[in-house]
Structures are given as C-alpha cells and as structure tokens.
Chains A and B, each alone.
Chain A
Amino acid sequence: ERRRAEELLRELTRGQSDEKRFKL
C-alpha cells in the first residue's frame, strides 16, 4: 500500500513546478 501511495504521489506531482504563489 505504501508503494502504491508513492506511485500515485509521483504520478500526480509529475511536472510540478516550484511555484509558490497561486491565484484562485
């Protein structure tokens, strides 16, 4: 289950920048 969580987190954060400010 831990490996599954790691895989999913990796997949979901792929290409994520180090952006600090988010305008919603």
Chain B
Amino acid sequence: MARRPRARAAQSRSPRRTLLLLLLSVLLLTAVFLLHRLEIGRRPPPGRLTVVALDVGQGDSFLILTPERKAVLIDAGPPETADRVREALARYGVTQLDLVIATHPHADHIGGMTAVLDAIPVRLFLDSGQPYPTRTYTRMLEKIREKGIRFVVAEAGQEFEIGTGVTLSILAPFPTRLRGTRSDENANSIVARLQYGAFSMLFTGDSERETEERLLEHDGTTAPLQARVLKVAHHGSRHSTTHAFLASVRPEVAIISCGAENEYGHPAPETLDRLRRWVRELHRTDLEGEIVLRTDGHRYEIHTERAVAAEDLWRGRRPRFRAEEPSLSAPRNGRAGSSLPMESSREAPRTSPARERSSVKRGYEAPKEQMYEVGRGSDRR
C-alpha cells in the first residue's frame, strides 16, 4: 500500500521528465545544426584545404582555398548568377585569385567570369583555348586582355603548385583536340586533379565519353586518374561518367553541380545508377545548395547548406525534351520524350542492403556531416 503514492509521484514526474528530455534534445539538435550552418561561408581554418561547390544554379563554379590562403576558381557559373559568385568570394575572404580556370567556353561555366575579373585581381588565367563564337567568350577574353592577366592555354601534363603541398595537375585537354563528338567544346574541357597530402579530387568540366576514353588511355602518363572525390562531369549528364571511367577513378564521394528544376535531365538516372556502384556518398547543389569540403590532407569532412534525404539525392531527372539518341546505358523503351521531372532508379539496387540502409539513414541526419579516414572503405574495392 505504501508503494502506491510513490508510484503516483513517479508517474506525475514522468511526463515532465520526458518533456525536459525532448526540450534538451531539440536544443542540442538546434545547436549542432547552427554550428553546421556556420561552416557554410566560414573562412577556412588554418592548416586545412577547403573546396566549395558554389550554388550557381544550372552551371559550375568551384572555389579552392589552400592552407596558405591561396585561392583558385574553377568556372564562374552562368551569367545570371554572377553576383552569387562575387558574393561568395567576398564571404570566404578572397581578395585575390591566384589561378582562374575556364574549363570550356560554354556560358554556364564562364557566364560569371567577366564580373569576377572586374571584381578581383587574378594572377593567372587558364583556358581551354577553343575559339568559340559567342559574345560571352570573346567578352571574357577582352576583359583578360584589358586587365593584363597572364593567360595560358591548358594542356595535359601541366602542373600548378599552389603554395606548399597543394598541386593541381592538368590531365586534359590533349595536344590533339577531340573532334566530331556530341560537343567538341565539352569534350575538350580542362580536366584537373587536385592533390593535398592523401586527399585528391578530380574536376572534369563537361567532359564527354570520348574525353574519358582518352583519359583512360593516358592514365598514369601525367597524374593518376584515381581520386577520392569526383566532380561529376557535365552536371550528371547521361553522356559521360562511364563505368570504365569510374573503375579507374574509384571515387568515395561524388559531387554534382546542377540547377534545381533544370529541364535538361541533369542528373540522369542512368548516371546515378552508375555512380551508385562506386560512391558511398553523393552531393548535389540543386538539392543541398552550397557544398563545403574541408581536409587536413588526411581526413575530410563535408558540410552542406541544406540537409536532404539520401533517397532524394539518388533521384535523377528526365529531360523535358529529348531528341532520339542512344545513351550510354541500354535504352529504356518508351522513355524518350517523356517529361517526368524526377525519377528514381527502377533497377534493383546494386549496392549491398547494409550500405543502402546506412546511406539512407545518414541522409536523414542533421547536420549532414561526414568524416572520412584515409584508407577507410578501401576493402570495398
């Protein structure tokens, strides 16, 4: 009998305790989330290399900040988001660009370049050297001339030492340019490999299948193709990122830069299927916004502006209009011309169920933050 009042007291305390625990959990999650958000736009901490995938909509723009505070810009997005690139440079405290790379002369990669060159001093400009007949491109070249910026045409075998311990090796274009491809401008994109300690990342511009084939032929003649992080070619288009290429690069993480609501079918479900066999982590600017990678040369961590469920990240898009043409995967009957905006892979997952579960779970976590050790996951391949 004496126990009953105590039990009642415990019962009355229980909802209060639950509420308190819930409140503490919410506060803790909020604090962690805010700390995570602070990583976006934060000036790089000393001793670490930072790579930022800027959210420029349908285009590419990547900023590399070295431990010695040197800065490299690879592409500058489309004309309509030029202000975003300039704003990001200011946010990351960039007062000079040591190297600017225009991977190829399409407007979704160089549209913001003239505004950048107007806003900030540039020491060296690396271009693919393709005389492309657009006003966007000639205006950019005129601006380089006006500013007296040192200008170099890229060629496989070049190497840029960006301060101590950071190297950017040029793997393409080759002296004999590719001709007769779907897009020669894309196919002759500058491909560059970043190395800092045991960390490596491959930037592929809008490479085509032919670019990848040629890179495979020359693998190892300049820098190796293998890289821990892959900037997926051409916004995740179905025309590149072949199995053979991925088998050589063996990336742990893939990053896709493309526009939300784009109508070009980027990223393509077929490309995501191929990536799924290799990478354990996928990041996309269209869904996650700005993506920040930081590394001390051994471990690396990735922060994103928005947390997105992994299952959404692996959902590709179909183009709004499609001319009949073969893709790299087996054709899907009846799909051509369909206007499905987003589509999950209909094929059976090729990854192990355990990996599937863990990646979906991780995608729901807030903050979205991962830390990798060198050598981790090597047993997977």
Contacts and interface: CB of A to CB of B under 8 A. Distances in A.
Interface of A: 1-2, 4-6, 8-9, 11-13, 16, 19-24
A20 B162 contact: no
Interface of B: 70, 98-99, 123-124, 127, 129, 131-135, 137-138, 141-142, 144-145, 151-153, 157-163
A23 B98 CA distance: 10
Contacts of B99: 24
A12 B146 CA distance: 11
Contact of A24 (B123, B142, B145, B158): B123
Contacts, number: 61
Contacts of A4: 133, 138
B133 A8 contact: no
25 contacts: A1-B135, A2-B132, A2-B133, A4-B138, A5-B131, A5-B132, A5-B141, A6-B131, A8-B138, A8-B142, A9-B131, A9-B141, A12-B145, A12-B151, A13-B151, A16-B152, A19-B158, A20-B158, A21-B158, A21-B161, A22-B161, A23-B161, A24-B70, A24-B99, A24-B124
Given A24-B98, A24-B123, A5 B161 contact: no
A12 B124 CA distance: 12
Given A4-B138, A21-B159, 10 more contacts: A2-B131, A2-B132, A5-B131, A8-B142, A9-B131, A13-B129, A21-B161, A24-B70, A24-B98, A24-B163
A19 B163 CA distance: 18
A24 B160 contact: yes
A23 to B, nearest CB: 5
A19 to B, nearest CB: 8
A22 B137 CA distance: 25
Most chain-B CB neighbours within 10 Å: which of A2, A4, A12, A20?
Answer: A12
Contacts of B138: 1, 4-5, 8
Contacts of B129: 9, 13
A24 B168 CA distance: 11
Contacts of A9: 127, 129, 131, 141, 153
Contacts of A2: 131-133
A5 B124 contact: no
Contacts of B137: 5
Nearest to A1: B133
Contacts of B132: 2, 5
A8 B123 contact: no
Contacts of A21: 158-159, 161
Contacts of A6: 131
A21 to B, nearest CB: 5
Contact of A13 (B123, B124, B153, B158): B153
A16 to B, nearest CB: 7
Given A24-B161, A24-B162, A11 B133 contact: no
A8 B141 contact: yes
Contacts of A19: 152, 158
A21 B162 CA distance: 11
A18 to B, nearest CB: 9
A-B pairs with the 7 shortest C-beta distances?
A: A1-B133, A5-B131, A2-B133, A8-B141, A12-B151, A6-B131, A24-B98
A17 to B, nearest CB: 10
A23 B152 CA distance: 13
A20 to B, nearest CB: 5
A20 B157 contact: yes
A9 B153 CA distance: 9
Contacts of B160: 22, 24
